[in-house]
């Protein structure tokens, strides 16, 4: 074997090893809201500018087949936190809507184990700053689900009295919480990204001598779009003029759509603040940072993908993802292997030297060898709710999944990432095998699912007098 080949092989082997147990790695998840596959410059977006996230990609890896487990907020976040498909833990919907609403009686079951709880079990400090959306009643708040610290909003910031369909929903004022205390009602959302970032930076500084898990789920770019004054300067003149004339007590959603580039720019600034704080405190080489989104775009771009938020086409559930860990994650690499947000729990668990619970099914897989050693995805199949399935490069959409599934559309994603050419007619055997996987998975879910939790007489959050 040539010396150069041997050295290369040894380097790849070293990358594939978990870090030494004496120095537990830190973990940072930055999770935006409704940011599409095409809403980063490093993913081809010309309508946005994301130099700090692009820097992350240059110093780490772009994950171009990274999926969330649902195309809307609540189930996607439940899957991230627990490593499980939403339907397995009864979090596929809210109690009477597609996502949890204000004063919902339903929430993530406290008996579930979150990433925060698993890491906390081996001495990690845990902090979350941003949008939760897994239950707003006291029993369901982040501080009851493994987080030492929490500052943020309990659900999407459009669940407020200014919603365009307020007559239908009758939403109460939006609460801003510090730990479990409501500190403001209807906070100025223009400053949410800034305030969340400041709390995250402070958390890093205070916990630099301990292993930590930091979760930053930004409320933006979910509508209505908001940015702080420094970023408003770059907005189109007609948008700035319209905002200046926006009547007090109202929010013009359509007008604010014109702030998309600025909203993404502020998120990019926030990522830069996190990266700079890690570097300034000597934590760069011991911290894994991943940036991604909870589902496809509502306002932005899915890039080359078909579909948007709410759909099981690729644009609804394949999201932009960038991962960075200097010296551990290969730099400047595009990783095309199928990975999911559910995989973060088992992967972090292994890297931290913790143990996965043995009394329940966890759908996520350890993807560390995929991220570092060039191995193939551990997923034999990925399920888009019970409406589609991907195995290898083939993806099957079905109809009638509640009344007997039937093949409807079949795509080869390697050749047709935009799901434009339906190959069902010419590949009946492929469709048959994929349908069998979907039916088997449905039966397995029925046999191994766990309940969400419910409270009696839920009440919307209020600030104490």
- Mark 419-432 as b/e (b = at least 16 C-beta within 10 Å): beeebeeebeebbe
Q: Which of 42, 47, 73, 163 is catalytic?
A: 73
Q: Which of 42, 47, 84, 133 is catalytic?
A: 133
73 part of the active site: yes
Crossing angle of the two packed helices 260-280 and 192-206, in degrees rounded to 10: 10
**Do residues 121 and 349 make contact, with C-beta atoms less than 8 angstroms apart?**
no
Q: Is residue 5 classed as helix, strand or coil in its secondary structure? A: helix
- Taken in order 425, 427, 428, 431, is the CA torsion positive or negative? negative
133 part of the active site: yes
Alpha-carbon Rg for the chain in angstroms: 22
d(Cα 303, Cα 356) in Å, to the nearest integer? 36
Region label for 380, one of left (φ > 0), alpha (ψ between -120 and 50) or beta (otherwise): alpha
**C-alpha to C-alpha distances, 108 to 147, 289, 452, 455, nearest whole angstrom:** 14, 25, 6, 11
**Do residues 48 and 39 make contact, with C-beta atoms less than 8 angstroms apart?**
yes
Catalytic residues: 73, 133
């Amino acid at each position: 074997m040539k010396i150069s080949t041997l050295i290369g092989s040894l380097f790849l082997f070293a990358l594939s090893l978990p870090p030494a147990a004496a120095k537990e790695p830190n973990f940072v998840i930055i999770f935006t809201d409704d940011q599409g596959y095409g809403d980063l410059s490093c993913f081809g977006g010309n309508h946005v500018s994301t130099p700090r996230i692009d820097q992350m990609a240059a110093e780490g890896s772009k994950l171009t087949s990274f999926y969330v487990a649902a195309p809307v907020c609540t189930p996607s976040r439940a899957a991230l936190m627990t490593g499980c498909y939403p339907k397995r833990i009864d979090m596929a919907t809210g109690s009477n809507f597609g996502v949890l609403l204000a004063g919902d009686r339903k929430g993530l079951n406290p008996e579930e184990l979150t990433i925060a709880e698993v890491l906390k079990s081996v001495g990690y400090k845990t902090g979350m700053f941003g949008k939760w959306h897994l239950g707003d009643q006291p029993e369901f708040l982040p501080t009851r689900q493994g987080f030492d610290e929490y500052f943020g909003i309990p659900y999407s910031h459009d669940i407020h009295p200014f919603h365009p369909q307020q007559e239908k929903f009758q939403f109460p004022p939006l609460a801003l919480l510090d730990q479990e205390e409501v500190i403001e009602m209807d906070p100025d959302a223009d400053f949410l990204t800034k305030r969340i970032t400041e709390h995250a930076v402070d958390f890093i500084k205070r916990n630099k001598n301990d292993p930590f898990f930091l979760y930053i789920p930004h409320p933006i770019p979910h509508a209505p779009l908001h940015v702080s004054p420094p970023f408003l300067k770059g907005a189109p003149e007609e948008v700035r003029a319209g905002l200046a004339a926006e009547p007090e007590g109202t929010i013009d959603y359509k007008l604010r759509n014109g702030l998309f580039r600025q909203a993404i720019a502020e998120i990019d600034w926030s990522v830069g603040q996190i990266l700079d704080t890690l570097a300034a405190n000597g934590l760069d080489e011991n911290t894994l940072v991943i940036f991604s989104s909870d589902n496809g775009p509502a306002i932005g771009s899915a890039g080359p993908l078909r579909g948007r938020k709410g759909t099981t086409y690729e644009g609804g559930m394949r999201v932009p993802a960038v991962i960075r860990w200097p010296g551990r994650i290969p730099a400047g690499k595009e990783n095309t292997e199928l990975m999911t947000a559910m995989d973060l729990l088992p992967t972090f668990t292994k890297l931290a030297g913790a143990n996965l619970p043995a009394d329940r099914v966890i759908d996520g897989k350890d993807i560390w060898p995929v991220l570092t050693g060039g191995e193939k995805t551990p997923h034999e199949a990925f399920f888009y709710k019970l409406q589609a399935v991907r195995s290898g490069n083939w993806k099957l959409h079905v109809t009638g999944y509640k009344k007997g599934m039937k093949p409807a559309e079949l795509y080869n994603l390697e050749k047709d990432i935009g799901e434009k050419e339906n190959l069902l007619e010419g590949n009946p055997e492929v469709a048959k095998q994929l349908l069998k996987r979907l039916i088997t998975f449905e039966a397995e879910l029925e046999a191994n699912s766990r309940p969400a939790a419910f409270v009696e007489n839920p009440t919307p959050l209020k600030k104490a007098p």
